Chains A and B, each alone.
Chain A
Amino acid sequence: MNYIIKIHFVILLSRQGKVRLTKWYSPYSQKERTKVIRELSGLILTRGPKLCNFVEWKGYKVVYRRYASLYFCMCIDADDNELEILEIIHHFVEILDRYFGSVCELDLIFNFHKAYYILDEILIAGEFQEPSKKTVARLIAAQDSLVETAQEQASSISNMIGQATK
């Protein structure tokens, strides 16, 4: 299968090596995914502070950056622009921060699907997508409100049905 992909995957790891988010843009089987995560946490979490943010891994390059207790890792081809990826990571973190209001690890744990939706607005199929933080925030908010109204309707209808069937 032929893929032209810029970012191969995104992984968020906690300092203890717990996975907080994974998004795979290249096709990896579940087995490979587990292996990749294990290998990368061995490579990245062991690195001390004040070292460069890049690790080579199987001919690819993994760009990572630590924010508080979370490591944001993205895997790219060896000849891609590492600094650009660092900026994308920072961009992602800023948007998360804006959306959750000073984001912390727990926000991502309990709202993991929201984190996915935000990531999907920034990266589509491994391509950097939306440079404006404001636009992303607006899109996510619009989606949220759409879902909420739909849910309210649904719950009211189902409540009515529920009461009717009682």
Chain B
Amino acid sequence: MAGGSSSSSSSSSTGPSLVDSLFQRSLDDLIKSLRSQPVGAEPALLSRALAEIRREIRSPDPDTKAVALQKLTYLSSIHGLDASWAAFHALELLPSPSPLHKRLAYLAASLSFHPSTTDVLPLATHQLRKDLSPSSPPNFSSLALHLLSLSASPDLARHLAPDILPLLSPRASSTTTNTKNNNNNSSPLRPKAAVATLHALSLCPDVVPLLVKPLVDCLSSPDPRVVSAAVGAFAELVSATDPSPYLPLAPEFYRLLTDSRNNWVLIKLLKIFARLAPLEPRLAARLVDPLCDLIRRSSAQSLVLECVRTLFSGFPDHDRALRLAVDKVKEFLTNDDDPNLRYLGLRALTILGPRNSWGVVESRDSVIQSLADPDPNIRHEALRLIMGMVFDTNVVEISVMLVNYAMKSDPVFANEMLDAVLTTCGRNVYELIVDFDWYVSLLGEMARNPHCAKGEEIERQLVDIGLRVRDARPELVRVARDLLIDPALLGNPFLWRILSAAAWVSGEYVEFSTNWLELVEALLQPRTSLLPPLVRAVYIQAVFKVLAFCFSSYIDQLEASQVSSLGHSTTVGGSTIECNAASANCLSDDITGTESADGFATADKPASLLSLLEKKDPFFTRESLKRILYLIETAVGPLSENDDVEVQERARNVLGLIHMLQEIPAWKTEEEGFKKDKDNGVGKIMNLMQAMFSEEIGPVSVNAQKRVPVPEGLVLEENLSDLAMILTEGDIAPSMSISFTLRSHQHMETKDEAAPSVQSTYLLAEHRKRHGLYYLPAEKDETELNDFPRAYDPLLPVSHSDATEDLVKLTEQSLIPRKVKHTKPRPIVLKMDEGDGVLPSALTTVKESKDDMLSGAIHEVLLGNEGKPSSSQKGSSNKSSGRRMKGVSDNSESVPQSKENLDLGDRENRSSSSRRSQHRSHGKGRHRSSQNNEEKEEKSHRNSTRSGHHHERHEHRQRGETPLNAVPQAPAIQDLLL
């Protein structure tokens, strides 16, 4: 452990006779002791080692310090210990003349320095500058470049940019070579300097004028490594920022593409062209042939893949080339030996996007087969590809295929598929769905999947469709019935939410049910005891609704038979069953008509329900009612003692109604007497009940609350504690109106205690009358408040039209980004899942604002240099904008000079990127200047406008016939294109 072993190790101290260094453990010792430890003892050992290092690292002896730092580096990179506290000690060792110490110090620094949190970083500036200088050994400079490109902060990059410059330029590096490295004709530092330059540029756009030109020069270096590094740097710059400033370099890139035989370089060049080609159609035309050649000739799959991707993303209009690429992808997909190629083939097709969906259609078979691939990642990718290709024309086919396939698939992937179908079909309020009957039954089928764990979403969609899509309700009720009567489903906890939705649907839209007895039986079957209390409560509430509906229908039916017997002196019995089907459609209209017109207009109601009841009367015999009553009473009875309050409360509601009915003497007498009595007893109660449920709950816009005007005299800021008095007086809590399941409860309460609560209900009603427009139309206690006109009548028919409005609105909204997508050169299909992590999104927002600065600066340099190569960097950037000014006014005859001057004034304030877009829009100057204000506003929230910006620019490109001929960058491109 002590001196002996450390002197034998190559990396240990052999130095001064201090006690610390004599007994210092070397890295090897540390590793050995860590490895020989049992698993559990590691944390203790680590903390002991850390304490040791903390002591040793303060030693004045550089050897001891170096070993301590090395151990710490090991612990931090392998065992994840925090090393940021030792940043200063790493700095202390940086100036060491010993290559060993320097290397260790740089390694420690590059592993532990964090540009934003290491506060000692500025202290390194001087040492880095010294190590970068041409007089220091090349491997010192190399270490410094490493650290610089890993851990530099913007300030550090700004300060050291002039020091990178000599390493980047060929002359300086050759002098270095001559002095230090005679047998090598090119400095190994130049490629590294190119990469460091890339990072300096990305950190600090100020240094662009200084560094971009030498970086461009690197492209024509004879040393392939330098070219490779420079191309790599440009590939990153082009892909991370706005590509348009790099267009003038296209000829240079093109030359390299045709000359180079190096696959690494070719791949990077293809990345650059994938971004540049959409900007310049002539460039794309020029590139097609070399790309196709590469696909045909190259044996390197990585290169072929990159060609395919470039063609897919950058050349959507070149059918011949796309055909070749799609054929290649088909080869990938059918490659049974290499899962990588299958995966990448699917990914590539995803890039192809909806614009060229034929490519996917052609390889359809292999794509669908990939759903059964042994690799979950490939299956996932295939699913994503398929879902990206869903349109309203094929949504049925694809969804059915996936749902059926999910039956056979393994649980995880089955749910992934169900989720994909649910998300896609539910997108933008069911934008894709035309046939809701089909979709509703599909939802029912999903519930039948034994692995289905998507109960929550299916529940939401079932209820949501019920609320939004009137025409789907009959089918919805049918699907719900099928789910409810199946006792097997009750045992599956994943389906409980779906069953809850089914119960609610069949209660709420009970009028579409065909067999009420069966429904009640299903809702009360013994296995419902398996359900959790909340779902059970929904079941019982549904029973309540069914009961109320049956009774009121029965009474109306009696009434109707009276009417008809009076009018036509015929009996009702079974006379009109035949027209069942024929009037099924008008039936729903009739009902909703009455509901929406005047919720509780007793005069209208029997007339409209007449047609309904005549058809269904065979089901409503006195016996069937009695049967239902008996069934409910026996099944719900025990639940009135249930432990769960929700279940108990609802059970008692139902039982209360039944008891109330049974206490009315007329019920016990024969049918005739019952008929006569109906106006006083049963009929009245049932009308109340029916009225309670007859009104619809409609979807409410998210913004509804905002639309409520604040009435005069209402001070919203004031403390609302005064309301407590009113609220405690009655039993009505305002929150009840929100939940539909509570309605009956409220109603019963108000009915029973009508007298004491009159005041509060009065106040509430008054309030609603004034602002009722924006309440959910869920309140049903107008029975007591008939004397007040219903304030929210006008909005009632909205429930349907609101849904369509929503749809229209949403499609409009979804059209806007779609427009952008179409005019945008590269549909961003791949970014679908980018919002997943917080990290990437946070990064991109910051990135964008800076990217604009960066690409703007680069634009200035590259274009400025084309025109005035001799002028100094700063001057050229100013002059180039001035020169551009002239260009603008020359080219746009229609725009008066004064206008341009105005623009110039504005321009000073704007960043270069907007200058660019304006510049390009010459000939439309007038139009643009009217948008100036808008543009300025946009600037304030830059991160959201990036895509719009692209869009704009592209548009202008299309408007101006051949913009590139007029702008200064044209000459650069012309030698390539002509």
- Spell out A's residues near B (CB within 8 Å): 1-6, 19-25, 27, 29-30, 33-34, 37, 50-56, 58-60, 78-79, 81-84, 86-87, 109-110, 112-113, 116-117, 120, 124-125, 127-132, 135, 139, 142-143, 146-148, 150-151, 154-155, 158-159, 161-162, 165-166
Contact = CB atoms under 8 A, between A and B. Distances in A.
Contact of A59 (B110, B203, B264, B840): B840
B192 to A, nearest CB: 5
A110 B376 CA distance: 37
B103 A143 contact: yes
Given A83-B340, A116-B107, A124-B196, 7 more contacts: A29-B114, A51-B375, A51-B377, A127-B236, A135-B225, A158-B16, A159-B14
24 contacts: A1-B203, A4-B202, A4-B240, A22-B77, A23-B77, A25-B150, A27-B115, A30-B81, A52-B342, A53-B340, A59-B833, A59-B840, A79-B309, A81-B302, A83-B301, A83-B340, A87-B302, A112-B78, A124-B149, A124-B192, A127-B198, A127-B233, A143-B99, A150-B98
A-B interface, 4 closest residue pairs, ranked by CB to CB distance from nearest? A83-B302, A125-B149, A52-B339, A58-B837
B17 A113 contact: no
Given A30-B84, A78-B830, A124 B73 contact: no
A147 to B, nearest CB: 5
Nearest to B143: A120
B719 interface: no
B374 A2 contact: no
Contacts of A81: 267, 271, 302, 305-306, 309
Contacts, number: 205
Contacts of A29: 114, 117
B836 A59 contact: yes
B192 A2 contact: no
A112 B301 CA distance: 32
Contacts of A142: 139
Greatest chain B CB density within 10 A among A58, A86, A161 is at A58
B971 interface: no
Contacts of A51: 339, 374-378
Contacts of B847: 2
Interface in B4-48: 10-11, 14-17, 28, 31, 35
A83 B202 contact: no
Contact of B103 (A30, A56, A117): A117
A154 B78 contact: no
A150 B836 CA distance: 51
A109 B34 CA distance: 11
B198 A4 contact: yes
B306 A52 contact: no
Interface in B817-832: 830-831
A83 B377 CA distance: 16
Interface string B823-857: 00000001101101101100100110011001000
A89 B843 CA distance: 27
Contacts of B306: 81, 84
Nearest to B205: A2
Contacts of B81: 30
Contacts of A135: 188, 225
A139 B139 CA distance: 9
B770 to A, nearest CB: 50
Contact of A147 (B79, B100, B111, B116): B100
Contact of B116 (A1, A125, A166): A1
A150 B102 CA distance: 11
Contacts of A27: 114-116
Given A51-B339, A59-B837, A78-B830, A131 B305 contact: no
A25 B151 CA distance: 9
Interface in B79-100: 79-84, 98-100
B428 to A, nearest CB: 23
Nearest to B377: A52
Contacts of B271: 81
B343 interface: yes
A52 B337 CA distance: 10
B145 interface: yes
A19 B79 CA distance: 7
A117 B146 CA distance: 11
A87 B617 CA distance: 78
A2 B846 contact: yes
Nearest to A163: B17
Given A1-B115, A2-B847, A143-B103, A21 B82 contact: no
B203 A112 contact: no
B529 interface: no
Given A2-B202, A81-B302, A113 B340 contact: no
A59 B77 CA distance: 24
Contact of A146 (B84, B99, B188): B99
Contacts of B468: none
Nearest to B148: A125
Contacts of A139: 188
Nearest to A35: B80
Contacts of A143: 99, 103, 139
A23 B103 CA distance: 16
A33 B80 contact: yes
A128 B232 contact: yes
A52 B340 contact: yes
Contacts of A24: 111
A85 to B, nearest CB: 9
Contacts of B846: 1-2
Interface string B200-212: 0011000000000
B232 A37 contact: no
Interface in B442-486: none
A21 B202 CA distance: 27
Contacts of B240: 4
B199 interface: yes
Contact of B377 (A22, A56, A59, A155): A56
B340 A109 contact: no
A47 B374 CA distance: 11
Nearest to B113: A27
Interface in B562-585: none
Contacts of A56: 377, 380, 833
B196 A125 contact: yes
B243 interface: no
Given A2-B850, A143-B139, A58 B836 contact: yes
A68 B196 CA distance: 34
A127 B380 CA distance: 30
A20 B264 contact: no
Nearest to B351: A79
Interface in B241-287: 241, 262, 264, 267, 271
